Chain A
Amino acid sequence: MKKINHRTRIVILTVMMTVLLVAVYALGAMIPDRAVAGSFLNASKPPSWEHPFGTDALGRDLLMRTLKGLAVSMTIGLCASLISAGIAVLVGIGAAIGSSHVDGVINWLIDLVMGVPHTVLVILISFAMGRGLKGLLIGIAATHWCSLARLIRGEVLQLRSQQYVAISRKLGKSGGWILVHHLLPHLIPQFFVGLILMFPHAILHEASVSFLGFGLSPEEPAIGIILSESMRYLSTGMWWSAVLPGLTLVLLVLLMDQIGEYLRKILDPYTAQE
C-alpha cells in the first residue's frame, strides 16, 4: 500500500470531518416539521430503536428535535461568526494602519467589550432587540470579535515592519495597494482559522443564552431550549432528555474545534510541512 504522509492524512481527515459536519447540518435542516410533532401516546419514553434519543414530555422525538436544533444553532453560529470575523478584520487592520489615536480608540473599545461579561452583554443586547433570533445574532456577533481583532492587529503591525513593505512604499506604491497586495494575502489564513475556531464558541454561547430563556422562542427546537426543558423533568428521572442532546452538542463542538486545529496546521506555513 502506498504510504500516506502526515499532511495528506490531515487533509483527508479534515475533509471527512467537514463532510460529516455538513451532513449533520443538512440532515437537521431537511427534517420536516411533521417529524417533531408530538403525540401524547408516546410521551416521556426512554431511548429505543424507534426513538434513539427517547421522547420528551410532549411526545416529540428527541433525536429529530436535537438535529433540527443543531441546524438552527449552526446557522446562527455561522452568521454570527461571519459578522464577528468581518468586524475583527476591519477593526484589526484599522488599529494597525491607522494613526495612534485610532489605535488607542480601538484598544479602548476592545477593553470595553471585554470589560462586561459576555453572557451579561448578550442578555442586554437580546433585551434591547426585544429577544428573538435577531437579538441573539447581534449579541453574539458583537461579543466575539475582540480576540481575533487583537490577533490581526498584531499580525499587521508585524507585517508592516517587513522590508518588502518598506521597499514597496519607497517604490511609490499607495497604502491601499500595499494593503491589498501585501497585507491581505497574509491575513486570509488567519481569517479562516479564526472564523472556524470562533464558530463553536458562538454555538456554545447561543445554546447558553437560549438556555437562559433569551433568544429563540420556546416552540423552536433549539438545543438550549431542549436542555432547559429537560431541567424541569430532571428529578422525574428523564435522564435521556438532558444527557443525549447535550452530548451531541459537545461532540459537534469538539468536531468543529478539531477541524479548526487541522486547518490551522495545514494553512500555517510553519507546521504545513510536518
Chain B
Amino acid sequence: MIKACIRVLSLLFAVSVISFLLVSASPIDPVQQYINGLGTAVSPQQRAEIEDYWGVNEPPIQRYFSWLGELLHGNLGESAIYRRPVGEIIGERFVNSLALMFCAWVLAGVIGFSLGCVMGMFQDKWADRILKKICYILSSVPTFWLGLMFLLVFSVWLKWFPIGFSSPIGVLDEDVTFGQKLYHLILPAFTLSLMSFANIALHTRQKLVDVLHSEYVLFARARGEGRRTILLRHGLRNILFPALTLQFASFAELFGGSVMAENVFSYPGLGSAVAAAGLNSDVPLLLGVTLFSALFVCVGNMIANLLYGVVDPQVREVVE
C-alpha cells in the first residue's frame, strides 16, 4: 500500500518535472503571447517589469522550485487567456468534463459489456461476426470524425441536437436548467462512449468464451442448466469484475477521447481548455491540466489495481 503510494507520488513528481522541462524548452515566448493578449502597446520598460514579475530570466531550476512550492500550497498560477487562477478554471471545467466522461464511461461500460456477453454467447454465429466487425471498424475511426458525422446528421440535418456548447447561447449561466445541460451533453457523451466500448466488448467476449469452454460449464450443462442460467451463475460472476477493472484502467484513453470530443462539440471542459492553452501558449493552464490529467489517470489505475486484488484471490494472496 505504502509502496503504491510512493510509486504514484514519484510518477506525479516526474510528470511535473518533465512537463515543466518541455514547457521551458519551448521556443514560443509566453511573455510575448501575454502581451499580445493584453491588446495594448507595452513599452520595453513595462515588458521588463512583466519579465521580472514572472521570473522569466531566472534559471529554470529555481523557477521550477518556486512553481512547485506554490503548487504544493494549492496555487497553480494565473491563466494567461482567462485571467483567472488556474485552480479555479480546472475545478469549474472538470465538473463539465466529469459529467461528460462519466456518462460516456457508464454508457460504454454497459453497452460494451452487454454486447460482449451477446458475442460470447453466440460465438462464431452471425451476431458475433457482425458485432466483431463493428467493433474493429469503430476502433479505426478517429473520435473527432465520428463527432463531426454526428454533428452533421443529428444537428445540421435532423436538427435534433444543438451544434455545441454546454448550454444554450444567450442564456446566463445561472439560468441554465439541468435539463438543458443534459440535452447538450447527449451527443458528445454518445460519441465518446462509441469510441471506447469496442475494447471492453472484445475483452468481455474473450473472457466469456474462455469460461464457456471450461469444464465446470460442461458439468453445469450436463446437470441440465440452460444457457441463461449458465450465463447468470457462471459467466457473469467471472467476467463482471475483470471488465470493471479494465474500465477503470482505461481512464487515459477516456481523457484523450474527451479532448477530441470536447473540441468538436465546443464543450467547455478540460479538453478544450488544454487545446486552447496549447494554442495560445497559456503555460500555467497547460501545466495545470497536464498534471491534473496525470492525477486523474493515476486514480483510475489505483482503483483498477485495488479491484484486481479484491477480485482475484491469487493476486490478493501475493499482496498479503
Contact = CB atoms under 8 A, between A and B. Distances in A.
A208 B144 contact: yes
7 contacts: A108-B10, A112-B18, A123-B259, A127-B286, A214-B279, A249-B142, A254-B137
B306 interface: no
A246 B149 contact: yes
A112 B11 contact: yes
A235 B163 contact: yes
Nearest to B21: A128
A93 to B, nearest CB: 23
A166 B11 CA distance: 37
A10 interface: no
B281 interface: yes
B274 A123 contact: yes
Question: Which A-B residue pairs are the 7 nearest by beta carbons?
Answer: A128-B22, A246-B145, A119-B256, A117-B256, A130-B27, A117-B255, A253-B140
Interface in B263-300: 263-264, 271, 274-275, 278-279, 281, 286, 289-290, 293-294, 297-298
Given A126-B278, A211-B144, A213-B275, A120 B11 contact: no
Nearest to A251: B140
A120 B140 contact: no
Contacts of A211: 142, 144, 260, 263
Interface of A: 108, 111-112, 114-121, 123-131, 200, 204, 207-208, 211-214, 227, 230-231, 234-235, 237, 239, 242-243, 246, 249-250, 253-254, 257
A131 B25 CA distance: 12
B255 to A, nearest CB: 4
Given A117-B297, A127-B281, A207-B142, 6 more contacts: A115-B298, A130-B28, A227-B145, A239-B152, A242-B152, A250-B142
A253 B142 CA distance: 10
A123 B14 contact: no
B199 interface: no
Contacts of A121: 290
A214 B274 CA distance: 12
Contacts of A111: 7, 11
Contacts of A126: 278
Contacts of B301: 115
A225 to B, nearest CB: 12
Contact of A257 (B26, B140, B255, B275): B140
Contact of B289 (A120, A125, A230): A120
B281 A120 contact: no
Interface string B230-269: 0000000000000000000000110110011001100000
Contacts of B294: 115-116
A125 B22 contact: yes
Interface string B139-179: 01111110011011001100000010000000000000000
Chain B interface mostly helix, strand, loop or mixed? helix
B136 interface: yes
B75 interface: no
B307 interface: no
B11 A213 contact: no
Contact of B275 (A123, A204, A242): A123
Contacts of B298: 115
Contacts of A208: 142-144, 260
Contacts of B281: 127
Contact of B148 (A123, A212, A234): A234
A112 B14 contact: yes
B23 interface: yes
Contact of A204 (B11, B142, B274, B297): B142
Contacts of B25: 128
A118 B259 CA distance: 10
A120 B255 contact: yes
A234 B136 contact: no
A99 to B, nearest CB: 19
Given A124-B23, A130-B27, A117 B286 contact: no
Considering residues A112, A115, A237, A243, which has the most beta carbons from chain B within 10 angstroms of its beta carbon? A115
B15 interface: yes
B114 interface: no
B206 interface: no
B98 to A, nearest CB: 15
